[in-house]
C-alpha cells in the first residue's frame, strides 16, 4: 500500500477551500486531513493531525506567516505551501521567511496548473512570483502505525 500525502487546507474563503478539496479529493495519492478558515484553526489542526503538507492562505485572518511559523514549530515535518490569490511578492516572501517552502497561486491550483499544483509538495517544484523557484526537498509522507 502506498502512503498518501496528508494535506491541510487553510483559507478564509469557503469557495477556495471547497475547490481545493475537490482537486485534492479526486487524487488517490492525496488525503485531506483538515480544513480551516483562519490561522488559529490551521495551527490547531496541524498540531493535532500532523499533515504532510499545509496549504496556507497568505492573508487569512490571524496571518498566514504566523500560521506558517507556528506549524513549522509544532509539526516540523509538515511542508508549508503559501497560497495566494495575488502574486504579491512581499506577502509570499513573508510566508517563505516564516517557514513556507513554496508558493501556490489560487487561480493556478484551481485550474489544475501542473507547475502550481498541491501535489508538488511531494518533492516537486512550484513557481514563485517573478520566476523564482524553491524545491520541497526530501519529503516523505508520515508513516502511520
pLDDT at residue 107, as a whole number: 65
Torsion of CA 11, 84, 15, 56, to 10 degrees: -20
pLDDT at residue 118, as a whole number: 47
For 2-60, the pLDDT digits (tens) are 689 999 999 999 999 999 999 999 999 999 999 999 999 999 999 999 999 999 999 99
Helix residue ranges, H only, 75-121: 89-98, 106-111
pLDDT at residue 120, as a whole number: 45
Distances, alpha carbon 22 to alpha carbons 4, 34, 111, 139, in Å: 16, 13, 11, 23
For 50-98, the pLDDT digits (tens) are 999 999 999 999 999 999 999 999 999 999 999 887 667 788 788 889 9
Half-sphere exposure in the Cβ direction for 15 (13 Å, CA):
4
Residue ranges of domains in the chain, CATH in brackets: 5-132 (3.40.50.2300)
For 85-137, the pLDDT digits (tens) are 766 778 878 888 999 988 877 765 444 444 444 444 444 334 333 333 333 33
Amino acid at each position: 500500500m502506498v502512503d498518501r500525502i496528508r494535506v491541510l487546507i487553510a483559507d478564509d474563503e469557503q469557495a477556495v477551500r471547497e475547490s481545493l478539496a475537490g482537486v485534492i479529493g479526486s487524487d488517490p495519492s492525496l488525503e485531506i486531513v483538515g480544513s480551516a478558515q483562519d490561522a488559529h484553526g490551521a495551527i490547531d489542526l496541524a498540531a493535532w493531525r500532523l499533515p504532510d503538507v499545509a496549504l496556507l492562505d497568505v492573508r487569512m485572518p490571524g496571518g498566514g506567516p504566523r500560521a506558517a511559523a507556528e506549524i513549522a514549530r509544532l509539526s516540523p515535518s509538515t511542508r508549508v505551501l503559501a497560497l495566494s490569490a495575488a502574486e504579491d511578492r512581499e506577502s509570499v516572501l513573508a510566508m517563505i521567511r516564516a517557514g513556507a517552502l513554496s508558493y501556490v497561486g489560487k487561480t493556478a491550483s484551481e485550474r489544475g496548473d501542473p507547475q502550481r499544483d498541491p501535489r508538488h509538495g511531494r518533492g516537486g517544484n512550484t513557481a514563485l512570483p517573478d520566476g523564482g523557484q524553491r524545491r520541497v526537498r526530501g519529503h516523505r509522507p508520515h508513516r502511520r502505525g
